[in-house]
Structure 1
Amino acid sequence: MSTTVKKLLPTSTAGSLPKPSWLAEPEKLWSPWKLQEEGLIEGKQDALRLSLQEQQHAGIDIVSDGEQTRQHFVTTFIEHLEGVDFENRKTVKIRDRYDASVPSVIGAVARRQPVFVDDAKFLRQQTNQPIKWALPGPMTMIDTLYDAHYKSREKLAWEFAKILNQEARELEAAGVDIIQFDEPAFNVFFDEVNDWGVATLEKAIEGLKCETAVHICYGYGIKANTDWKKTLGSEWRQYEEAFPKLQKSAIDIVSLECQNSHVPMDLIELIRGKKVMVGAIDVATNTIETPEEVANTLRKALQFVDADKLYPCTNCGMAPLSRNVARGKLSALSAGAEIVRKELSK
C-alpha cells in the first residue's frame, strides 16, 4: 500500500483511458481485442504500463490502470462470474436510454476466482503512487444484463454486492489505495437508489480499510448519452436525489460530473464532509480544456467543498476519445489544478 495523498488537490481520472490501436479498435466502446491468448495477456500488460506512463507524464497524482485490461467497465467483471450466460444474449435498454446486447443471468451468481486482482498487483509493482481501482457498482451491473433467474433487481443487486465485496477485499490486499464503484445508474433510478442502491453499495465496501469512492456521472460521451443530456434542461439536479443518502453513508469519496454540465455547483453542499472528486474535464467533446477553464470549475466547487477534500478529476471515462485528445485533457487537468493550488497556498 502506498502512502496516502498528502498533496493538496490531488488529480485523478474517473476510469477508462483510450486503448492503443494495436490492442483494440480505438474510439469505440466494447471494442473487440486484436490479440489472442498469450499475446493478449502481454498486450494488456503493455497497454497498462503505457497508460500509467501517460498519466505520470501528464502529472496525474492518483493513477489507475486506465481500464486497459477490460473491454467494458461493467461487462468484463460480469464475464468472470458463474450463473451468467454470454452466449444467450438479450437486448435490453440500458439506463432507459439505449439498446445493447447483454448477457443473461441463468442461475445463482458467484465469483469463483478473482477478476482484476492480478492486474492490480501488476499495476502496484509499477509505481509507488497512490492507485485507484474502479469496479462497477451493484445497480449499474444489474442494469447492464438480462435477469432470467432472480427476476428481482434488488435481489440480484444484493448478490452482486457480496461478490464485489470479495473482489474489493482482495484488491485492497493487493495494495489498491482507493476502490471506486461506478454507479451512473444512480442518476436515473432514484427510488431504487434510496430504497436499496446506497445500502447495496455499503455492503460492497463492508470491512474495507482503504478509501472508497462512488462515481456518479451522466455517462460516456456517446451519442445516446449526449442526446439524453439535451433533454435535461438548463439545470441537472439528478444528484439531489442520491446525495442526502450518500452523505450519511460510509463511502469516503463522491465523484461527480461538473465540466460543461448543467449541474448546479451548490448541490455539492449536500455531501458536505465527504471528499469530492470534481469532474473538471468534459469527456463528451474533443475540445481540450484550457488550464484556466479547469481552474474555474475547481474554484466554483471550492465554495461548497473544503480544499483538503477536493480531488480534481475527469467527468467520466475517456475510452471513446482519441489518445491524443485524452493526453491533452489529462495535461489540462494537472495544469488547472496547479493554478488553483498556487492560489490556495498564498
Structure 2
Amino acid sequence: MSKRLPTSTAGSLPKPSWLAQPETLWSPWKLQDEALIEGKQDALRVSLQEQQQAGIDIVSDGEQTRQHFVTTFIEHLSGVDFEKRKTVRIRNRYDASVPTVVGEISRHKPVFVEDARFLRQQTRQPIKWALPGPMTMIDTLYDDHYKSREKLAWEFAKALNQEAKELEAAGVDIIQFDEPAFNVFFDEVNDWGIAALERAIEGLKCETAVHICYGYGIKANTDWKKTLGSEWRQYEEVFPRLQKSNIDIVSLECQNSHVPIELIELLRGKKVMLGAIDVATNTIETPEEVAATLRKALQFVDADKLYPCTNCGMAPLSRSVARGKLSALSAGAEIVRKEL
C-alpha cells in the first residue's frame, strides 16, 4: 500500500433489499437459481461501488454472496450434515441450531474463488477477502465424528488453506480469518488456536490478517458486553502470542468499546487494522471522532502499520447508516493523514 493509513471494512456490508431481507443476519435469499447468481454479482458490484464512493482504499465483496460468514464456507465441505441439527451454545453466549460433523472433513471444490475472481475483474484496488477462522468454525457446529475441538480445527485449517491458496491465485491481496472465538476461549487459543490459524496460512505469499472482535451488534452480543465490566481486557490474553505468530495483520475493535487502547502495544511490530467505527449503533461517527480514535492508537502502533477499519461487519445495519459510517472512516483517516 503506497497510501498511508489505508482504510478497509472488517467484512460484511448490508445486502440490497432485492437480494435478501435487510438488517437481518442469516437472511434467506429472495432469488433462486440463475437469478440468484446474477443478483449476487450485481450486489457485489453495488457494494464495491459504495466502498469506492466512500473512499475506502482496500475493498472487499461486502460478503454479498454469502448468507453467513461461517456456515456458507462449511456448506461446501463434505463431512457436515446440515439436515442433522443440534442446538449448541455459540461462544458461550447464545443457543443456535447448527449442523453436525458426521465424517471426515474435506474440501472438494472452491467456495469463494469465482466470486473473488469476479471482484478482481471489477477493480484495480487492493482487495481483501474474509474467511472464517478454524476455531470460530468449530464453535458453530456439533461434532459427532472427531470428538476433539483441536482435531476438528486442524481439519478445517487444512481446507481453509486450500481455499486461501486459490484466493491468492485469483488476485486477492489480503486474506483475513475471522476469529471472534479468540476473545472467549483463551486457553485453547494459546494451546492450539494460533497454531491452527498458522496451518491455514501455510505457504501463502499474500498478506494475512486475523480479525478478533466483540461481535455484531445483535442482542446476545450486546448483553454479553454488559457483563464484561468497565475494561475489556480479553485481548491481553492472546495478543502476546499473536505478536509472535506468522500472521501479518491483527484486526481489532476500538470504537465505543471498553478496550484499553494501550493493549495494542502488545502487538508492536505487527500491522493493526483498527476498528474506528462502532457497528452496534445506528449513530454515524463524525470524521473528528474517527480521527481521535486513530490518534490514540498511533501512540501504540507505527503510522506505516495502522490500517483504519470498522469494529466488525455491518450486515445488520441499514445501507444508509453503513454508507455514512464508511464515509466517516475515510474522512477521519484523511484528517490524520494530513497531520502526519
TM-score bracket for the superposition, by shorter chain length? over 0.9
Alignment match, 1:198: 194
Q: Secondary structure at the match of 1:59?
A: coil
Alignment match, 1:229: 225
**How many angstroms apart in 2 are the aligned matches of 1:13 and 1:42?**
24
Deviations 1:186-205 (A, max 9, x none): 00000000000000000000
Q: Secondary structure at the match of 1:7?
A: coil
**How many angstroms apart in 1 are the aligned matches of 2:237 and 2:220?**
22
The within-5 A match list for 1:5-84 is 5-84=1-80
Partner amino acid for 2:21? E
Alignment match, 2:96: 100
Alignment match, 2:277: 281
Q: Secondary structure at the match of 2:195?
A: helix
The reply on whether 1:170 has 2:158 as its aligned counterpart is no
Partner amino acid for 1:52? L
How far did 1:89 drift?
1.2
Partner amino acid for 2:51? Q
**How many angstroms apart in 2 are the aligned matches of 1:103 and 1:69?**
20
**How many angstroms apart in 2 are the aligned matches of 1:77 and 1:6?**
32
Q: Secondary structure at the match of 1:76?
A: helix
Q: Secondary structure at the match of 2:64?
A: coil
Q: Secondary structure at the match of 1:92?
A: strand
The reply on whether 1:143 has 2:139 as its aligned counterpart is yes
Deviations 1:10-59 (A, max 9, x none): 00000000000000001000000000000000000000000000000000
**How many angstroms apart in 2 are the aligned matches of 1:148 and 1:29?**
26
Alignment match, 2:260: 264
Q: Give structure 1 regions of 4+ aligned residues with deviation exceeding 6 angstroms.
A: none
Query: Where does structure 1 lack aligned partners over 5 or more consecutive residues?
Result: none
Q: Secondary structure at the match of 2:308?
A: strand
The reply on whether 1:302 has 2:311 as its aligned counterpart is no
Q: Secondary structure at the match of 2:211?
A: strand
Q: Secondary structure at the match of 1:226?
A: helix
Alignment match, 1:210: 206
**How many angstroms apart in 2 are the aligned matches of 1:103 and 1:42?**
28
**How many angstroms apart in 1 are the aligned matches of 2:283 and 2:186?**
32
Partner amino acid for 1:262? H
Q: Secondary structure at the match of 2:22?
A: coil
- TM superposition score normalised by structure 2: 1.00
How far did 1:90 drift?
1.1
**How many angstroms apart in 2 are the aligned matches of 1:79 and 1:100?**
16
How far did 1:107 drift?
0.5
- TM superposition score normalised by structure 1: 0.98
Deviations 1:138-193 (A, max 9, x none): 00000011111111100000000000000000000000000000000000000000
Q: Secondary structure at the match of 1:215?
A: strand
How far did 1:73 drift?
0.2
Alignment match, 2:116: 120
**How many angstroms apart in 2 are the aligned matches of 1:271 and 1:198?**
14
**How many angstroms apart in 1 are the aligned matches of 2:154 and 2:322?**
35
The reply on whether 1:343 has 2:334 as its aligned counterpart is no
Partner amino acid for 1:299? R
Alignment match, 2:149: 153
Deviations 1:176-235 (A, max 9, x none): 000000000000000000000000000000000000000000000000000000110111
Instruction: Name the % identity.
Output: 89
How far did 1:101 drift?
1.0
- How many residue pairs get aligned? The number is 340
Query: Where does structure 2 lack aligned partners over 5 or more consecutive residues?
Result: none
Q: Output the aligned Cα RMSD.
A: 0.4
Alignment match, 2:126: 130
The reply on whether 1:330 has 2:331 as its aligned counterpart is no
**How many angstroms apart in 1 are the aligned matches of 2:272 and 2:191?**
23
Partner amino acid for 1:207? G
